[in-house]
Amino acid sequence: MASQNNYDAIVIGGGHNGLVAAAYLARAGKKVLVLERRHLVGGSTVTEEIYPGFKYSVLSYVVSLLRPEIIRELDLAAHGLELLPLESTVTPLPNGDYLARWADHDQTRRELYRHSPKDAEAYDEFGTLMYHLAFAIKPILAMVPPDPTSLNPGDLRSLVKLGNHFRGLGEEKLYSLIKLMTMSSADYLDEWFETEALKATMSASGVIGTFLGPRSPGTAYVLLHHYMGEIDGAFRAWGFAKGGTGGVSEAIASAARRFGAEIRTESTVARVIVENGRAAGVVLENGDDIRASVVVSGVDPKRTFLDLIEPGELPGEFVHAIRRFRIRGSSGKVNLALDELPELACLPGRGPHLRGAISISPSIEYLERAYDDAKYGGFSRHPFMDIIIPSMIDPDMAPPGKHVMSIFVQYAPYELDGGWNDARREEFGDAVIDTLSEYMPNLKDIILHRQVLTPWDMEREFGLTEGNIFHGELSLHQLFFMRPAAPWSDYRTPVRDFYQCGSGTHPGGGISGASGRLAARTMLEDM
Amino acid sequence: MLRTTPFHARTSALCQAQNWRRWAGYIAASSYELNHDREYHAIRSAAALIDVSPLYKYLLRGPDAQRLLNRVVTRDVEKCAVNQVMYTPWCDEAGKVIDDGTLSRLGEEMFRLTAAEPNLRWLQDNAVSLDVTIDDVSDSIAAVALQGPNSREILKRASDADLDGLRFFRLTSGRVQDVPVTISRTGYTGDLGYEVWVDAERALSLWDSLVSAGEPYGITPAGMLALDVARIEAGLLLNQVDYIPANKALIEARKSSPFELGLGWTVVLEKDHFVGQTALLEERKQDPEWQFKGLEIEWDSLEEIYNGFGLPPELPTVPWRTSVPVYSHDRQIGYGTSGAWSPTLKKYIALAHLQARHAEPGTELTMEVTAEHQRKHARARVVDPPFFDPERKRA
């Protein structure tokens, strides 16, 4: 086919960040084309009816810190984004008891008091500190990372601003922040709490998407992210999207289209055309050649720089850095269609707890042992699980009276001993259901359909290298101006007119859209 | 002593928050859960069940029922077909609004009028020499609103009424289980929704049927706080909050004409004589001095104000209903009467009375916000209500 050279920008990958970038570029008047390999947009942020009548949020399942400025600037509410409350977390315990944290402060306090009067008080103080720290680091999420080694005035200005910002925190909070940056979540929480299940459930959030255990240093930092949502509480930065997470992608895609962006699905990009050191367009797998002034990739850094670009076009140093970028997948996902509501042995009956998260994280030791399995090449026999029942929050997710269940499972290493195959996948699914059945006795009897996704499936079906849900681990050496590789953290790349906007760039991780927005901003500066 | 509604045996058992408020001499749940958040989202994303029994309800019967109503309200009741519902205000002789409500034509010679305030005497005074019986059925008729995108499915399951054929602001009758009900496609949320009218003695049985049919569709009992957010989004007025009824206003300045409340569309001046007609005819010759509009408070402006104190924006966690000054270039030109954070629109919105020359949609004004004990002005933009008007409301 003849080449079409009429786009200002091509976005590779219609994941949520790609769509956000496309929307902002189109909003600025650019002619934008989004190319998505699959039959629907959203990337890892999709809702699919895998089993008739039952809608699965296939991979990502809660909205985590979707940037309020994106909701506002793209007017996502007008495009159908509806975020519903996800209010509680219940951790069932092996002894038949449970630990719950509810939306209501007094209710949570009373529940924690039942386990430890001391923890009930510490929890409030901890919350206040986290709120302060989260407020302090919040501006960083909306900032293009400066290059700390650069003498460029723009970078220097950013660095000075950053320095002043942290000085303004005051000594005490600065030390707390440094602790959070360097300690393991288990150690950090030990300084505050004594209830095992509380520490375990809180620290579990620090290891999601990383190949680390709760006792690994650097995991404490992620605790902060959970308080980020409180600052923008009104925007419900944490919550469940009506229609599943695909609802978020649909809203962003609708906004992008309204601004004039064109979105093509089932269009696989084979490679980026580089001419005279500049990106000039893309070649599709079907041979079509589409030209544009700039190209931006929303897919992960490995795929972007090692597959889509001729290695010769990139400096050797950079290629090495990308090769070293840690992207080990560590989690799996199990989605269930259920004939009726599951029952928790520790809290029988239909109750508000079934509208929140259920966390299988009874103790730090439990989590660390789950990690041990994975460290030595197996999947966890008794994994950490973060479970929600989306149909309890949005009844339209399943036929009336029926339910869907979303189970995030960790650990499932990409590098499984002997490798993943269909049999090992189902074996992994069995381990998940067996473990969960210990807490939900009726579970096995009510399963109508089960979808199991391992890191292997995530790579093959969703293009996530090594099945890493964050496009690269969120560990300290891979954050901010190190993400994905210094100094290319400002969304530019060594190839002129070629940009990156995926979760593998700052601030990465979760359905935040921040990478897409910041990348578009950088591109518009250059265009 | 405050009264309880016919649904009280159910609502009181559900009301975890023990958060009640007064409504027309009854107690009404402000929220059932400890926080009204989920109840609000039920209205917009699933279905909410709201006890609206405290409404004043009058049954008007007789050959002159239509004439009486046409004499009192501003809409043309002659145009109201059997099984049709009309929203309407009514005025005093000076053309100032006394109250507003819905009138339902239950038969050729039978109407039901709802009101926020007692209106029996007003109706009777206007019925002199007319052949009409007016009964106060406020206590004998219970009403529950079922509102939200799933409300139709639930009612279809629960009743034998033809709901697919029931258009917006129309009513039908049928049975829920064996309980005779009237179902009107009306509500106070601006969403797809219905109000179900039932003999007070059968109220509990109706409630139970609706809850059991609605359970798979996410039916959630909702209180006044959730309802208030929804009605502000829908730009629906509240008597004694957004306006003062003319018969209770202590000074002239507190009274409003329908034109000043954005209710000009309800005033049919061409019909036979009605209370306030002469004054309203006169008023229509000039532009009204005041307009009732929506305000969208700008997030960036709130952020600036609060960041000045080292704080993130603090938004109202529950809807407010106080008088809040609105300015144009630091001169007060109006006042907000209701406001809320809209979780659906992700906007801070308010309903406000504005001097007409500052009421053009798009006009940049400021509204007072109190941040860290200091009065500040947040930028706000005038919009025409409703803020939220989904297609499903009429579809």
CATH number, domain A4-45+65-82+241-326+475-526, options 3.60.40.10, 3.30.360.10, 3.90.480.20, 3.50.50.60: 3.50.50.60
- Spatial distance between the Cα atoms of A320 and A324, rounded to a whole number of angstroms: 6
Whether B313 is covered by a domain: the verdict is: yes
- Spatial distance between the Cα atoms of A345 and A330, rounded to a whole number of angstroms: 29
Beta-bridge partners for B239: B243
Asked if residues B63 and B154 have their Cβ atoms less than 8 Å apart, the reply is no
Q: Which residues of A touch B (CB under 8 A)?
A: 68, 71-72, 76-78, 82-85, 87, 103-104, 106-107, 135, 231-232, 234-236, 242, 352, 355, 394-396, 400-401
With a CB cutoff of 8 Å and minimum separation 6, the contacts of B251 are none
State whether B214 and B312 are in the same domain: no
Smallest CA–CA separation between B216 and chain A, in Å?
4
Residue of B nearest to A242 (CA): B45
pLDDT tens digit at each of 395 positions of chain B:
789 999 999 999 999 999 999 999 999 999 999 999 999 999 999 999 999 999 999 999 999 999 999 999 999 999 999 999 999 999 999 999 999 999 999 999 999 999 999 999 999 999 999 999 999 999 999 999 999 999 999 999 999 999 999 999 999 999 999 999 999 999 999 999 999 999 999 999 999 999 999 999 999 999 999 999 999 999 999 999 999 999 999 999 999 999 999 999 999 999 999 999 999 999 999 889 999 999 999 999 999 999 999 899 999 999 999 999 999 999 999 999 999 999 999 999 999 999 999 999 999 999 999 999 999 999 999 999 999 999 999 99
> Which ipTM was obtained for this model?
0.91
- Spatial distance between the Cα atoms of A364 and A199, rounded to a whole number of angstroms: 7
Whether B385 is covered by a domain: the verdict is: yes
Give the residue from B14, B40, B45 with the most A CB atoms within 10 Å of its CB, the best one to mutate: B45
Strand order of the sheet with strand B133-136? B85-91, B97-107, B110-115, B56-61, B133-136
Smallest CA–CA separation between B293 and chain A, in Å?
20
How many Cβ atoms are within 10 Å of A398's Cβ, its own excluded?
25
Chain A partners within 8 Å of B341 (Cβ): 234
State whether B208 and B297 are in the same domain: no
State whether B45 and B142 are in the same domain: yes
Whether B365 is covered by a domain: the verdict is: yes
Looking at residue A5, its pLDDT comes to: 60
Residue of B nearest to A402 (CA): B216
Q: Which helix (H) or strand (E) holds B280?
A: helix B277-285
Q: Can you give B222-234 as a three-state secondary structure string? A: CCHHHHHHHHHHC
Instruction: Please give the distance of CA A228 from its chain centroid, rounded to a whole number.
Output: 14
Exposed e or buried b per residue across A260-279, where buried means at least 16 C-beta atoms within 10 angstroms of its C-beta: ebebeeebebeebbbeeeeb
Instruction: Please report, for the domain that includes residue B146, its CATH number.
Output: 3.30.1360.120
Whether B125 is covered by a domain: the verdict is: no
Residue A322, SS3? Answer: helix
State whether B296 and B374 are in the same domain: yes
Smallest CA–CA separation between A500 and chain B, in Å?
28
Give the residue from A71, A74, A79, A87 with the most B CB atoms within 10 Å of its CB, the best one to mutate: A87
Pairing of strands B331-342, B347-355: antiparallel
Count how many domains chain B has. Answer: 2
Residue among B34, B153, B345 whose CB faces A77 most closely: B345
Q: Residue B168: which domain range?
A: 8-53+138-222
State whether B188 and B48 are in the same domain: yes
Residue among A71, A231, A352 whose CB faces B346 most closely: A71
Chain B partners within 8 Å of A231 (Cβ): 312
Asked if residues A87 and A102 have their Cβ atoms less than 8 Å apart, the reply is yes
The torsion angles phi and psi of B136, rounded to 5 degrees, stand at -80, 110
Q: Which residues of B touch A (CB under 8 A)?
A: 33-35, 37-38, 41, 44-46, 150, 153, 215-218, 299, 312-313, 315, 341, 343-347
Residue of A nearest to B317 (CA): A234
A85 with B341: Cβ contact below 8 A: no
State whether B48 and B147 are in the same domain: yes
